[in-house]
Amino acid sequence: MRHALLGLAENTALPSELIDQLIATADGDVAEAVACRSDLSRVQVAALSRFEGAAIRLAHEGRLTADDVDPVAQPRVALALLEERSGRPEWARLLAADPLAETREKLAACPGLPHDVMQTLGSDPDVRVVAELALWAPADIAGELAAHSHADVRRSVAANEATPATVLASLLTGDGLPSARSCVVCDREPVPFVHDPSCERSDCSLPPGASCDGSHESAAQEIQQMALRNPAAPVDAVVGFVSHPSTLMRVELAARTDLPAQVYAQLAEDPIPWVRATLADNPSISENLIRTLATDRGHDVQRRLAHNPELPLDVLSDVAGNTRIGPVLLPRIASASGAEVTALAASAIPAVRMLLAQRRDLLPEIRNALADDPDAKVVKSVAPHPGLSEAQLRAMVTRHGARVLAKVAVNPDATAQLLEDLAQHRPPVQKAFREIARHPSATAVALLACLDDRQARPLAARHPALPLSAMVELLHDEDWQVVEAAAANPSLPLAAMRELIP
């Protein structure tokens, strides 16, 4: 029954008087589901606000205001308003003294806190609170926290894009900062300690491989890694990591878009494929370097290179012919000019035509040519394209059968009769049932066929064209997802809705 109520809570056809009844009998989960509705009255919003989860959601959506909330009685709701910049400054001062560290930690992540509150949180006895503040603090506070005694706080400062460049440089080199006195490892374990990556202790939350011999070495590496990832870190401070012994450091460096050409060239010769693959889709590398990487035999290098928005089309053709990329719209194909699209459509490489077919703005003549392509993966890629006729879609199924069936069912212009025929196809195609069940043109006949597929069943239960008798029967299904979906069906009879509410 509970899952039926959760489904009913999101049913767009539920009348206001039944919403009132549902709220009156709701538990926290049902109330939160009702709070997602866009048609609630002010009275209903007020009634839901007695549930903390629902009130938090309503606060985030702007349907509760500061006048509706008591920060002492509902601190988490007050935090939600502060997160949305809709709370009051005095709330932040009140919550900064909350005895629960979790409350103070959530407060530290709120934007626009008064400066005195940030100073209070910056000296909090719980390092988790200070570390959370350091992630979001403005430049002056972040600069102060860079010298904090705990490495976790410094790690957060290194990740904060508001941290001044000079401070980030110090975090990378260690120059100008006192040594950290503690880290997450030596807080919990006697040093020296190395965390076993296969640790089976249920009470252990240390990262795999975390270590400390008194110098907080794994924490220090994380600080540098976060700083390298930070776009505000100055180039002259990061380029020295091009030869760093840690692969993780070189990977972070390869992802940066502000490095000198000679540094990118050195990274392209890195012995670790992960580094070269990370470099491959970097939009800041030169065409010459792209062409060099195109000869790299690393599969991940080739695959990532295909996603580089600056990729020359001739290189893309070579990569597509040699590497399994999958049916995705690549950035370079998305930006191709009309003349380039024409050339791609005429490519002798089926994988190139397949990738082009992912565009949904093709001229009709190019779309139609791809729909008639002899290669099934090209046809499968273009099958969801709007504008294809029923005759074209049926011809695809006739030529390629089960290989294209599910993608034909996705097509927004698929007719009701075509969907019925696809649902009756033999042998059946399981993916097609799921697409038919969510298609707005699906008929009762097609949807009943979809009920036989376990994954399509909840989708069909939610479809407004499902016969009413089947819909009501599914309210008692053994699968809770089906029950929830049937209760959410906007075609569910009003009498059935009433029966669901205690």
Residue 360: DSSP 8-state:
S
* Spatial distance between the Cα atoms of 445 and 466, rounded to a whole number of angstroms: 8
Confidence of residue 179 (pLDDT cuts 50, 70, 90): confident
pLDDT at 180 over 80: no
Report the candidate in 90, 125, 85, 88 with the shortest Cα–Cα distance to residue 109: 85
pLDDT computed for residue 58 by the predictor = 97
Report the candidate in 62, 13, 69, 4 with the shortest Cα–Cα distance to residue 33: 4
Residue 150: DSSP 8-state:
B
Residue 179 CB burial class (10 angstroms; 0-12, 13-18, ≥19):
exposed
pLDDT at 421 over 80: yes
**Each residue's pLDDT tens digit, 382-414:** 999 999 999 999 999 999 999 999 999 999 999
Q: Which amino acid is at 142?
A: A
Judge whether 5 and 500 are in contact, CB under 8 Å: yes
Confidence of residue 203 (pLDDT cuts 50, 70, 90): low
Strands of 195-325 (E only): list them. 211-212
pLDDT at 187 over 70: no
pLDDT computed for residue 182 by the predictor = 81
Sign for the CA dihedral angle at 135, 138, 139, 140 comes to: negative
| Strand, helix or coil for residue 379 | helix
Stated pTM of the model: 0.88
Strands of 11-153 (E only): list them. none
Over residues 475-500, the mean pLDDT reads: 96
pLDDT computed for residue 326 by the predictor = 87
Confidence of residue 194 (pLDDT cuts 50, 70, 90): confident
pLDDT computed for residue 197 by the predictor = 72
**Each residue's pLDDT tens digit, 332-390:** 999 999 999 999 999 999 999 999 999 999 999 999 999 999 999 999 999 999 999 99
pLDDT computed for residue 189 by the predictor = 67
Report the DSSP beta bridge partners of residue 466.
Answer: none
Over residues 467-487, the mean pLDDT reads: 96
pLDDT at 202 over 80: no
pLDDT computed for residue 452 by the predictor = 94
Furthest C-alpha separation in the chain = 75
Domain ranges for the chain: 1-87, 415-493
pLDDT at 299 over 90: no
**Each residue's pLDDT tens digit, 253-264:** 999 999 999 999
User: Which H or E run includes 193?
Assistant: strand 193-194
pLDDT computed for residue 190 by the predictor = 74
pLDDT computed for residue 75 by the predictor = 96
**Average pLDDT taken over every residue of the chain:** 94
Peptide bond connecting 427 to the previous residue in cis, omega within 30 degrees of 0: yes
Q: How far is CA 213 from the centre of its chain?
A: 37
CA end-to-end distance (rounded Å), the chain: 9
The percentage of the chain sitting over the pLDDT mark of 90, rounded to a whole number, equals 87
pLDDT computed for residue 160 by the predictor = 98
User: Which H or E run includes 251?
Assistant: helix 247-254
Confidence of residue 209 (pLDDT cuts 50, 70, 90): low
Over residues 230-242, the mean pLDDT reads: 97
- Produce one character per residue of 287-305: b if its CB has 16 or more CB atoms within 10 Å, e if not: eebbeebbebebeebbbbb
Q: How far is CA 343 from the centre of its chain?
A: 34
Judge whether 106 and 131 are in contact, CB under 8 Å: no
**Each residue's pLDDT tens digit, 139-177:** 999 999 999 998 899 999 999 999 999 999 999 998 889
- Produce one character per residue of 47-57: b if its CB has 16 or more CB atoms within 10 Å, e if not: bbbebbbbbbb
| Strand, helix or coil for residue 211 | strand
pLDDT computed for residue 214 by the predictor = 61
